[in-house]
């Protein structure tokens, strides 16, 4: 199965392919970055995202040869991935991040102080394979895995199931839950940021609950918002401990809606929701501080949205909410809180 650019379902009113003109490689948009698309609030956009795994320098920057080593035929390697690998898109391997980022998209009427609501409408797999990357000296246990074992683990996707082979003729199978690791807005700076650490702009949040039907709210920092996306995943465990998740390309359609400052009671930080949960987010270089930041974000949400006394909200979080580690491998660690919406139904 291969979902090449321009083929198959394109659900958005606008469509963006991963061409040289539409991507940044290893950097995120800032206020000086020229938009490649302008839309109205409420418009839908389809993005053909490309995984960085298979096209990076330490993989030969040749996805046909790299994936061929795992038995993938040339016809099953996305043409846009091949073209990007062979392109002259600016990237400094020593200073820039690995991710291919599409955008930025300017949203008319978006101003600093607003929120950009990003609704995940549809996600289609563009291939039936991908990579989990360990890379020597990285992940949650860099000292224990440095120079031991392969740096890349090949994964298969079949229906709603992923698999990793091990031993002789054996494999472990697990559910797939595709999502976009990078969802962000342009930073209010004159230089482009590294793609790896997340922040108030969103970016590389790696929150696995941002599947189809979810939404992410991002505090707008520049005129037009400068929305961008990338880092597609087919599955990820909380923590993303090896360094990456099941990295593989997705076709994603999102709705971009401006929530004016006066109309929102959300705090000025990334905030997610699903049909069943509100998800405040905490970020910090130190995991303990990221946890504290998530607790404060959850308290701010509960006191602001429901008028709960702070001590009552604190007690509720301890009794009923779940705090999960988003990831520990992106320099800035992430912790998110799951608050059940049903707990507040009257």
Strand, coil or helix: 12: coil
Mind listing the pLDDT tens digit for each residue in 303-341? 999 999 999 999 999 999 999 999 999 999 999 999 999
Average pLDDT, the chain: 95
Mind listing the pLDDT tens digit for each residue in 206-247? 999 999 999 999 999 999 999 999 999 999 999 999 999 999
- Hey, what long-range contacts does 300-306 have (CB within 8 A, 24 or more apart)? 300/267, 301/266, 301/267, 301/271, 301/339, 302/339, 304/265, 304/266, 304/267, 305/265, 305/266, 306/344
Mean pLDDT of 34-59: 97
Mean pLDDT of 253-276: 84
Contact 18, 80 (CB under 8 A): yes
Q: Which of 301, 116, 123, 306 is nearest to 215 (CA)?
A: 116
> What predicted TM-score, i.e. pTM, was given to this entire model?
0.96
Distance, in Å, from the CA atom of 253 to the CA atom of 47, rounded to the nearest integer, reads 6
**Span of 31-40, 59-68, 193-202, 255-264 with lowest mean pLDDT:** 255-264
> Between β-strands 37-39 and 100-107, what pairing exists: parallel, antiparallel or unpaired?
parallel
Mean pLDDT of 27-41: 98
Structure confidence at residue 262 (pLDDT): 55
What DSSP designation does 130 have?
E
Q: Residue 144 — very low, low, confident or very high, per pLDDT cuts 50/70/90?
A: confident
Structure confidence at residue 263 (pLDDT): 52
Place of tokens 């005129």: 223
Mind listing the pLDDT tens digit for each residue in 183-215? 999 999 999 999 999 999 999 999 999 999 999
Residue 108 pLDDT > 90: yes
The residues, any chain, with a CB within 8 Å of residue 44's CB and separated by 6 or more, are 11, 12, 13, 14, 121, 253, 254, 255, 256
Query: Residues 211-231, buried b or exposed e (16+ Cβ, 10 A)?
Result: bbebbbbbbbbbbbbbbbbbb
Residue 268 pLDDT > 70: yes
Residue 77 pLDDT > 90: yes
Structure confidence at residue 146 (pLDDT): 72
SS3 content of the chain, % helix, strand, coil (to 5): 20, 35, 45
Structure confidence at residue 292 (pLDDT): 98
**What tokens does 277 get?**
């949960």
Mind listing the pLDDT tens digit for each residue in 122-140? 999 999 999 999 987 789 9
**How many alpha carbons fall within 13 Å on the CB side of residue 10?**
14
Structure confidence at residue 218 (pLDDT): 97
Structure confidence at residue 69 (pLDDT): 97
Structure confidence at residue 265 (pLDDT): 55
**What tokens does 10 get?**
């394109």
Mean pLDDT of 59-74: 97
Query: Residues 268-280, buried b or exposed e (16+ Cβ, 10 A)?
Result: bbbbbbbeebbbb
How many residues does this entry show for the chain? 346
Domains of the chain: 14-262 (2.60.120.580), 276-344 (3.10.28.20)
Query: Residues 169-207, buried b or exposed e (16+ Cβ, 10 A)?
Result: eeeeeeebbbbbbbbbbbbeeeebbebbbbbbbbbbbbb
Structure confidence at residue 147 (pLDDT): 72
Give phi and psi for 167, each to the nearest 5: 60, -150
Structure confidence at residue 264 (pLDDT): 55
Q: Which of 105, 126, 133 is nearest to 258 (CA)?
A: 105
């Amino acid at each position: 199965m291969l979902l090449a650019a321009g083929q198959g379902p394109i659900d958005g009113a606008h469509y963006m392919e991963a061409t040289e003109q539409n991507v940044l490689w290893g950097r995120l948009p800032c206020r000086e970055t020229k938009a490649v698309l302008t839309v109205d609030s409420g418009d839908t956009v389809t993005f053909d995202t490309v995984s960085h795994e298979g096209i990076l320098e330490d993989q030969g920057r040749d996805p046909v040869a790299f994936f061929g080593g795992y038995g993938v035929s040339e016809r099953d390697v996305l043409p846009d991935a091949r073209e990007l690998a062979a392109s002259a898109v600016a990237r400094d391997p020593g200073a820039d991040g690995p991710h291919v980022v599409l955008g930025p998209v300017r949203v008319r009427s978006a101003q600093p102080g607003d929120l950009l609501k990003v609704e995940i409408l549809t996600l289609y797999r563009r291939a039936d394979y991908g990579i989990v990357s360990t890379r020597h000296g990285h992940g949650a246990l860099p000292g224990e895995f440095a120079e031991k074992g392969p740096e890349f683990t090949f994964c298969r996707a079949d229906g709603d199931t992923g698999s990793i082979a091990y031993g002789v003729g054996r494999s472990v199978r697990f559910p797939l839950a595709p999502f976009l690791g990078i969802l962000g807005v342009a930073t209010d700076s004159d230089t482009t940021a590294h793609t790896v650490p997340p922040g108030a702009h969103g970016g590389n949040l790696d929150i696995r609950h941002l599947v189809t039907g979810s939404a992410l709210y991002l505090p707008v920092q520049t005129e037009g918002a400068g929305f961008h996306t990338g880092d597609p995943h087919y599955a990820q465990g909380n923590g993303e401990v090896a360094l990456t998740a099941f990295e593989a390309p997705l076709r994603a359609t999102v709705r971009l809606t401006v929530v004016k400052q006066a109309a929102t009671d959300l705090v000025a930080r990334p905030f997610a929701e699903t049909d069943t949960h509100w998800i405040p987010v905490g970020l910090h270089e130190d995991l303990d501080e990221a946890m504290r930041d998530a607790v404060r974000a959850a308290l701010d949400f509960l006191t602001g949205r429901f008028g709960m006394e702070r001590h009552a909200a604190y007690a509720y979080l301890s009794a009923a909410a779940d705090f999960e580690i988003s990831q520990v491998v992106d320099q800035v660690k992430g912790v998110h809180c799951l608050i059940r919406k049903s707990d507040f139904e009257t």
